[in-house]
Amino acid sequence: MAQTKRRIEAFDAELADFPQGARWREWLLRVEAAIFAAIEPLPRDALARLVGSSCNLDDLLADLADELRARPYDLVFVAGGYQLRTKPRFADAIRAANAGSDVHRPHLIGPLDRHAAQQIRINLVARRLSRRLR
């Protein structure tokens, strides 16, 4: 627990050593990764902790939404926070991919299973980000 607290305290939201363009991109990726990994909609104040004081969060979220237009999911504001939601036109494809499987039916998954799935998802996002930063 102490190690986690030190990591949070050492988190550099400002990214002052980054050139402006790279800083904006890193903030964008951080916000996307956090929203992607969240089980529930992520509130604005949680996202604000990921970016520097000079970042206009509304502009960043607009850029993220614009960047996601070509993707099969959208950035949406729901239940007091931000979440990535699959575009409705892909519903039939998702159902077909999961035919006969209970894996993607949240009402059949217990809390511990959801937590385990969330941890796997977080690890995958972290790996993708670390590969991009190399």
Contacts of 72 (CB under 8 A, 6+ apart): 86, 87, 90
* Rounded Cα–Cα distance for residues 8 and 1 (Å): 11
Task: Tell whether the model's pLDDT for residue 73 goes beyond 60.
Answer: yes
The pLDDT, as a whole number, for residue 40 is 93
Q: Which two tokens stand for residue 92?
A: 């039939």
Record the pTM. Answer: 0.69
CB 47 within 8 A of CB 34: yes
Task: Tell whether the model's pLDDT for residue 42 goes beyond 70.
Answer: yes
Q: Could you report the per-residue pLDDT of 96-115, keeping only the tens digit for each?
A: 988 876 555 555 455 556 66
Q: What is the set of domains in the chain, with CATH numbers?
A: 2-133 (1.10.10.10)
